[in-house]
Structure formats: C-alpha cells, structure tokens
Structure 1
C-alpha cells in the first residue's frame, strides 16, 4: 500500500516515518509538511520525496499517516478521506466534538479504512493485556494515571510542542487513559473533572453505564523521579494491572499499520477507529468545559 506521511516533527521523525519506511507491505510515497526545509530533510532521510502540494500527495497514495497537531490533523484527514485515502491517525483526532465527528463522518461517507494510534492497543504486552481483560466480565472499578515529566524537567522533544503547551496532559495523555478504561468498563454516562496539584494536573471521575466507576490523574508536570504510568481494573475476576509498555513506539506503530492493512483487506472496522476516537474527544471536551479557564 502506498502511504503518504503528513508531518515533520519529532513524532513523525522518530515513530511514523521509520515504521512506514521499514514495513514490508508499505511503499512510502512521500512526505508533506508545512515548511519546505524540514519536509525535504525528512523525506531525504526516509528515502522518499517531499511534496509541496498536499492534493498531489493524496493522488499518489492509497493511505496517509498523520503526525500533526490534532486540530490540524482533523480537517486534513477529512480532505484525505474525500480523496479516497485510508487513514492512520494519531490521538486525539481533534479537540472539538465537531472536528472529531467530521472525521468519522468523512470516513463512513468515503468508505475508507481508519485506525487511530492509541499506542497501548498496539504494543504487544499492553495490547494483549487489554484484549484479555476485555474478554472478562464483572469489572466494577478502574483507574488510569498518567504522570509525565514533559513539563516537569524532562529532556523531551515534546516539551516545546505548542499544542501540548496549550492543551496540556488532559488532551495529550488523557486519550491513553480513556483507551484503557472504556473497552474494559464500557461507555461513560458522566464525567467530572477538576484541576489539582502542580501545573496542568487534572483529575477525572467517570461513571460508566455498566454501573462501574473509574478515575484518572493526568499530568505533564511531575518531576522525572515521580513519573510513571499505572492502570488497573478490579471486580469479579480479581485485580488486573496494566503491564509496562516494553517496546519503542515505532514498533507499536508498525502494528497499527498492520491493523489498517487488515481493516482495508477485510472491510472490518478496528476498535480504535474513527467513532471510538470521536467518543474520546467528546469526553475530554466535556471534561475541559468543567475546568477553570485561568
């Protein structure tokens, strides 16, 4: 399948690009970015060609992988779907319900495949754990805490990211937390959000339609020594704890490519499709509306 890569930042350079270039069933047809110099440099490193004209890249591709800020990603994903390109998107697909709904409707209208890269679902260890727990019944309570030092002193290429600075951990790691809790505890009837702690720290409490409840603590503002990811569910099957994600994101992204190829070949949608991503965006937006603006 011929893929185009949209984006030239650290995520595109370290994850999307290498995984696409290495995949035996993918031809990386080109790279498009908003600035010509980094576009040309990344295309050269990946052994492909840069595109200045986005529609020309769509014409040269069967699919696109998008590594751009969410509210740039969403309208470009709609354009790509309208051009007949399958979509390999990143979370969150958008930060407005309208943007996420537009992507989902475009996918369905065009009949293209769509997979959204919720990383934990495509890592071998964590993805297997999620599938195993989803097959069990009787989970009653859960939690998912993402404590990141991106703004807390870590040497990270994502510290200077303008959209992460603006939107904070709620929108950057919140999708990861929800991607664990929703498949295991079911749809959410009510979300309550509050700020608390250092920097961009946000706490969520979720009431699920199944009767279960869950909570999240999300932050980019802890020190490196305090960083960590923990998630667990408890109920009739006992206690199940999320294992450590033990592989590089590029390896997980390779499985996301496989998932899109399979979805296109079989016509069967993936759990991490556009409608699931729309649900995640809607919940995060509802939480955002409850938080103080200053």
Structure 2
C-alpha cells in the first residue's frame, strides 16, 4: 500500500512530543514536511524527524495527501478548512476551533470535499481508555457522571513545564484545554448535552453542570492552575449497575494514542471523533463561556 504523505503544521511542544514521533514512526505514513510560524522552529522539527521544512503552509498543503495540525485552535480551524477544500485529509487536535463559526467552517469544508477528518481526543484513541468508555456507553442506565480534570500547567511550581509558555492556554484556560477531554468521555456515555450551567472558581477553574438527552446529569471541574500536588483526573458514572470509576493510570503514552488516530486516518474507518463531534464540543464550550461572561 502506498504510504499516505502527511504534512505537519506546527512546531510547538505537542508537535515534538506526540505528532512528530507518531507520524515519523507510522508504517503507513510518509512525513513529507513541516511548516511553522517561525522558520527556525520548522527547521528544527524537520531535522528532528528526518523531513524538510516549508516556508509556506499552502505549499506544504499542495504537496501532501493529508495534514496533521498541532497549532492553537484559532489557527488550526482556518488552515484545516483550506486544506480540506484542497482535498487533503485532516488529523486535527482538540479543540477543533476557538469559535463555533470556525468549527462550522471546518465541518462545511470537510463535508463538501468528502475528505476524512479525525480529531484527536486522547482518551478516545487510547486502547484501554477507549475500551473502558465503550463498556460504560454499552451498559447505559446511568443516573449521573462526573469528569474532573485538574491540570497544573500554570500551577505554582509548574513554570518549567512544556506547555507553560502557551499563550492560547493562558487566555482560554482549562475550559477550552481540558474541557474537551471531559466532554469526550461524558458525551459518548450519557448522550448529547441539552442544558448547561457554569460557575467560576479560583484561577481559571470552571465548574460545569450538564443535562444529557439520556436524562442523566453530569458535572465537570476544569482547570490548568491546580497546585501540582492536587493535579489529576477523576471520571466516574453512577447508575443501576453501581459505580464505574476509571482506573488510575489506565491510559498509556500519548504517542501510542496518537498512533491509533493515525491508524484511523490511514485506514479510512469511521470514528466518533470526527469533525461533527469536534463542532459539537466547540458549541458546548462556547455556550459555557458565554454563561461565564467570556474568557
């Protein structure tokens, strides 16, 4: 089978830690080039993964079959829409866009062109975590659920972390960065969201309360400013079957999960984390942000 020629858009920590290693190692992919907003960074990443740097994003898009995007959501959406309109398959990151309009532009471009689009929600592509989520979805009859993400990206003592210099994360906070992770677990188990309430806590912390089409309710606590000693993830569902709690340490390395997302893109099989799902998550985040009075 001919390898899928993929161009990487983005040169930040996530491109270097997850996208680049998984794409370069995948047997069904030829990592054809890298583009970044800084030429020197593009050259560094290209050398790191044995490919070439491009000075122009559209030139890279023109030379490949698909693009993988590791950029802030406000930049990802317009580039992804351009690539889709050019007939290029998409491997995108969460959140799909910084606005509902941006996400809808991507969906429209994908559906008009007929290209494949995979949006990387980490737990949904991790083998063990995806299996656990699938079992809870199949069980049904849940009364309530919770998905809490206590990130310490900007917590005291975490200043040297790889994402601490991320302007978009500092601007948008935990709602937009780890909120998609929480929703990617709650929605497949409890169903779409029909009502939202939101309140702020300290720092960027946001409390969400959601009502779902199944009749169940859920909550989520989302932050990037937790003290490192208090960081962590907690997911559980309660219902007629009892209590289901995601085991600590269930998920493996992000590169393994990303490699499974690449498998889906290369193989062309349908997956729940597509452009439409990315749009729905963006709509929920934007609705919560409006309730909170903006960022």
Per the normalisation by structure 2, the TM-score is 0.95
Q: How much has 1:228 moved relative to structure 2? A: 0.7
Q: How much has 1:293 moved relative to structure 2? A: 4.6
Q: How much has 1:156 moved relative to structure 2? A: 1.1
- Contact 1:94–1:100 (CA under 8 A) maintained in structure 2: yes
Distance 1:192 1:35 in 2: 40
Per the alignment, residue 204 of structure 1 pairs with 208
> Which runs of 5 or more structure 2 residues have no equivalent in the other structure?
none
Cα gap change, 1:57 to 1:293, in 2 (>3 Å) = closer
Distance 1:103 1:235 in 2: 37
Q: How much has 1:4 moved relative to structure 2? A: 0.3
Alignment of 1:262-281 (within 5 A): 262-263=267-268, 266=269, 269-281=270-282
Per the alignment, residue 78 of structure 1 pairs with 81
Distance 1:127 1:169 in 2: 22
Per the alignment, residue 290 of structure 2 pairs with 289
- Contact 2:123–2:251 (CA under 8 A) maintained in structure 1: no
Q: How much has 1:292 moved relative to structure 2? A: 3.7
- Contact 2:65–2:88 (CA under 8 A) maintained in structure 1: yes
Cα gap change, 1:82 to 1:293, in 2 (>3 Å) = closer
Q: How much has 1:95 moved relative to structure 2? A: 1.8
Q: How much has 1:250 moved relative to structure 2? A: 1.1
Q: How much has 1:60 moved relative to structure 2? A: 1.4
| Matching residue within 156, 164, 170 for 1:165 | 170
> Which runs of 5 or more structure 1 residues have no equivalent in the other structure?
none
Aligned residues: 289
Alignment of 1:226-265 (within 5 A): 226-243=230-247, 244-263=249-268
- Contact 1:81–1:107 (CA under 8 A) maintained in structure 2: yes
Distance 2:76 2:294 in 1: 24
- Contact 1:120–1:245 (CA under 8 A) maintained in structure 2: no
Q: Secondary structure at the match of 1:149?
A: coil
Confirm whether residue 98 of structure 1 aligns to residue 101 of structure 2.
yes
Residue deviations 1:6-33 (CA, integer Å, cap 9, x gap) = 0000000111001000001110000011
Alignment of 1:13-162 (within 5 A): 13-153=16-156, 154=158, 155-162=160-167
Q: How much has 1:220 moved relative to structure 2? A: 1.0
Deviates more, 1:284-293 or 1:63-72: 284-293
Q: How much has 1:238 moved relative to structure 2? A: 2.1
CA RMSD of aligned residues (A): 1.1
Distance 2:58 2:152 in 1: 38
Q: How much has 1:140 moved relative to structure 2? A: 1.7
Q: Secondary structure at the match of 2:288?
A: helix
Cα gap change, 1:86 to 1:293, in 2 (>3 Å) = closer
Residue deviations 1:75-126 (CA, integer Å, cap 9, x gap) = 0000000111100000001121111111111111000000100000111221
Q: How much has 1:245 moved relative to structure 2? A: 4.0
Distance 1:236 1:105 in 2: 40
